[in-house]
Chains A and B, each alone.
Chain A
């Protein structure tokens, strides 16, 4: 098995073993439950704002795992040991991105089925939302990883993570929640850009953090 696959497996195992991977999921479903309470039982209105509400919930849920993505591995010396073994920081970051998305994207897409029902979304809107999340969650995961690496040297970065990450995620939110034509293509393009850049940003941050 290649080192990349081993790293992905380790991170994935850790995400679910520590329960951290379930947290964003529960949070996402909770927000989907709160929305009808706040807006009221107006089915037509809920169906209209539902897609945007779920995208906002997904964005906020993406913040939750960020703090445990990189910093624990730096503190425990895992990153140093990987570097000593000649694993490039970019490859480690790419493996972390893969593992993070696997523990975040597909579960969120699954949770969207009950969430869409709670908000009375029709089949077409739900399908569009699912496709949007499939295209957008890799971008969200990439943003999360880059921000995690950039803030890894800070002890209590929780609030800062939100402040750094949410503005950057605005394009994903706009194209994801938009019903306009071509929005999904732009969403995919934005997501691709984040996924392509994140390993390099995170890798540079990891390297800088060592000196």
Chain B
């Protein structure tokens, strides 16, 4: 069973207290949208949830593998999109079919042989989301997943998220725009 729970989390960044005593819990099939102005600590919250950042106080309980879509795409520029994505999918124990499936889910199938350095901002964003889809991880942490996406990609993203929740996954997303999916909101 996939679960994510944050208990009594406090976050200090650059000598400033961003938030404290933050509690949230996600049960299987549950998604949550973290909202808030720029700089309130949405990304830091996701990094804490991912285990990349140690919270100043509190604890994080993760039940299941984590996939993070952060601002940086983490795809090798001189590789083709397929090869760059396949590197991560293989690390996660997936196969080439999984990569092809994830690319198709984000409408990137035709771009598979294109080098990553030639992709546009929106296409990179979609590739980042395709990596999350291909990871097979139960916990999705999405940092501004909708930034730079066109209407069609938004629909694909919403469909992928709905599918993940229906399969018992957990989603924690930070965004200041609606993601086209009914989720609990959490204002930071």
Select one of A3, A6, A76, A210 contacting B73, CB under 8 A.
A76
Report chain A residues within 8 Å CB of B65. 85
Q: Is the interface of B mostly helix, strand, loop or mixed?
A: loop
The contact of B68 among A3, A10, A14, A80, by CB within 8 Å, is A80
In the complex the two chains form, what is the Cα distance from A77 to B67 in whole Å? 13
Pick from A76, A80, A83, A85: contact of B91, CB below 8 A. Answer: A85
* B104 at interface, CB cutoff 8 A: no
Instruction: Enumerate A1-29 residues with CB–CB distance to B below 8 Å.
Output: 1, 3, 6, 10, 14, 17-18
A210 to B72, CA, bound (A): 14
Return A5 CB to nearest CB of chain B, in Å.
11
Asked whether A77 lies within 8 Å of B91 as measured between CB atoms, the reply is: no
Q: Distance (Å) between the CB of A76 and the closest chain B CB?
A: 6
- Find residues 46-80 in chain B having any chain A CB closer than 8 Å to their own CB: 50-54, 65-68, 70-78
Residues of B in contact (CB 8 Å), total 23
Give the CA-CA distance A77 to B66 in the complex, in Å. 15
**C-alpha gap A84/B74 in the complex (Å):** 12
Contact A78 B91 (CB under 8 A): no
Asked whether A81 is an interface residue with its Cβ less than 8 Å from the other chain, the reply is yes
Q: Given A3-B91, A81-B68, A84-B67, is A210 in contact with B52 using a C-beta cutoff of 8 Å?
A: yes
Contact A77 B70 (CB under 8 A): yes
Interface of A is mostly: helix
CB contacts (< 8 Å) of A78 on chain B: these are 74, 76
| With A3-B91, A14-B78, A17-B78 as contacts: A77 and B50 at CB distance below 8 Å | no
- In the assembled complex, B19 has its CB within 8 A of some CB on chain A: no
Q: How far is the CB of A8 from chain B (nearest CB, A)?
A: 12
* Complex interface: chain B residues within 8 A of A77 (CB): 70-74
Would B72 and A75 count as touching, CB distance under 8 A? yes
Q: Contact size class for A?
A: 10 to 19
CA distance A129 to B77 in the complex (A): 38
* Distance in angstroms between the alpha carbons of A77 and B77 in the assembled complex: 12
Contact in complex: A80, B53 (CB < 8 Å): no
| CB of A211, distance to nearest CB on chain B (Å) | 6
Asked if B52 and A83 make an inter-chain contact with CB atoms under 8 angstroms apart, the answer reads: yes
**Chain A nearest Cβ from B86, distance in angstroms:** 10
Chain B residues within an 8 Å CB radius of A210: 52-53
A residues near B75, Cβ cutoff 8 Å: 76
B182 sits at the interface (CB 8 A): no
Q: Which residue of B lies closest to A75 (CB)?
A: B72
Whole-angstrom distance between the Cβ of B15 and the nearest chain A Cβ: 13
Q: Is the CB of A211 within 8 A of B76?
A: no
B160 to chain A, nearest CB (A): 19
Which one of B66, B67, B77, B87 contacts A10 once the chains associate, using CB atoms below 8 Å?
B87
Nearest A-chain residue to B70, judged by Cβ: A77
The verdict on B92 contacting chain A, using a C-beta distance below 8 Å, is yes
What are 20 A-B contacts defined by CB distance under 8 Å?
Answer: A1-B90, A3-B91, A6-B91, A14-B78, A17-B78, A76-B72, A76-B73, A76-B76, A77-B71, A77-B72, A77-B73, A78-B74, A80-B52, A80-B68, A80-B72, A83-B51, A84-B51, A84-B68, A210-B53, A211-B53
A-B interface, 8 closest residue pairs, ranked by CB to CB distance from nearest: A77-B72, A77-B74, A81-B74, A78-B74, A84-B68, A84-B50, A17-B78, A84-B66
